[in-house]
Amino acid sequence: MVNIPKFTIPKEEYVCKGHSACPGCGTPLALRYTLKALGKRTVLNIPAGCGGVILGVWPSYALKVPVVDNAFECTAAVADGIRAGFDVLGVEDAYVVGWAGDGGTVDIGLQALSAAVDRNANIIYIMLDNEAYMNTGIQKSGCTPIGAWTTTTPVADEKGWNTSPKKRIMEMLVANGIVYGATVNVAFPEDFIARLREAKDIKGTKFIHVLAPCTPGWRIDPKKSIEVARLATQTGIFPLYKVENGRYSLTKEIKNRKPVREYLMLQGRFRHLKEEAINQIQKIVDEEYARLLKKIKDTNE
């Protein structure tokens, strides 16, 4: 007998060729991994943003699962509505996924998401975080990191870039009482799929925060997209962790965190940053990472 290796990533593909994402875009990878984890009986509901646009133009359509498009701020409400409809009609074994961007989640969609968590809506809410309003042309969102250039936080004379920190969406939702939350990164597909498999059959609202690079928005070489995404985790800027009923735990141990400079300097959106600003960002990242480790310690005692 030949010992067949166990693949952790299913072979099935639910994303067809011919979608219109940019080269190096993280979103199609996230879509592929999500649907590989959840399978055929999954419905996505997608608000305004790249997520809808890259699936193609009517009557073409690049997915093998149903999709409901919706308005910008209502992803969690529409998703919970689909679940409600399924429940009263006896449709079982189906996954209802809200598939929104960072702006559609932490800014305009926050109210509906908070209410869905309040109802403990039985949905999987996936936030594709590319750290700005990319579909409308790279404007600052609540997820844009400190130091980043965007078209609405332009750089002039070493000033003017984004100065507000990323909204702590996971902490907001944990405070809100969410049953499951996790961060995943398209550069770590096995972990990505493992988190979704873990989350999918938990009853209640599941929140998955995906880091997905945007090559034109981050000003990166498309072939370096995964390298940059991987560095986000390796530097501790985007640590991979999960929160189950308020208990935090790391899902990816990073032994020796790399300097944030390595991550920042691969991206045109940070190119204006001088030594002092980079050091400042390193300090903030160190503090945030320490806060995370403390939360892990505190919630597991």
Output the smallest distance, CB 210 to other proteins, in A: 21
The smaller minimum CB distance to other proteins, of residues 34 and 162, is found at 34
Residues within window 69-128 making contact with other proteins, judged by CB under 8 A = 69-71, 73-74, 76-89, 91, 94, 111-112, 114-115, 118-119
For 222, the token pair is 């498309």
The smaller minimum CB distance to other proteins, of residues 94 and 146, is found at 94
CA distances from 167 to 74, 160, 164, 266, 272 (A): 19, 19, 9, 23, 23
Output the smallest distance, CB 87 to other proteins, in A: 7
User: DSSP state, 182?
Assistant: E
Site string for other proteins, 12-51 (x = CB under 8 A): ----------------------------xxxx-x------
145-159: burial string, b at 16+ Cβ within 10 Å, e else: bbbbbbeebebeeee
The residue type at 104: G
Residues pairing with 244 in the sheet: 180, 247
The residue type at 285: V
For 62, the token pair is 């690049």
Q: Which of 9, 10, 22, 66 binds other proteins (CB under 8 A)?
A: 66
Q: Compute how many residues bind other proteins; rule: CB under 8 A.
A: 45
For 232, the token pair is 């986000």
Can you state the percent helix, strand and coil of the chain, rounding each to 5? 40, 15, 45
Output the smallest distance, CB 196 to other proteins, in A: 18
Q: Which of 31, 65, 187, 193 binds other proteins (CB under 8 A)?
A: 65
The smaller minimum CB distance to other proteins, of residues 66 and 268, is found at 66
User: 3-state class of 35 per DSSP?
Assistant: helix
The smaller minimum CB distance to other proteins, of residues 53 and 202, is found at 53
User: Which residues bind to other proteins, rule: CB under 8 A?
Assistant: 40-43, 45, 52-53, 55-58, 61, 63-71, 73-74, 76-89, 91, 94, 111-112, 114-115, 118-119
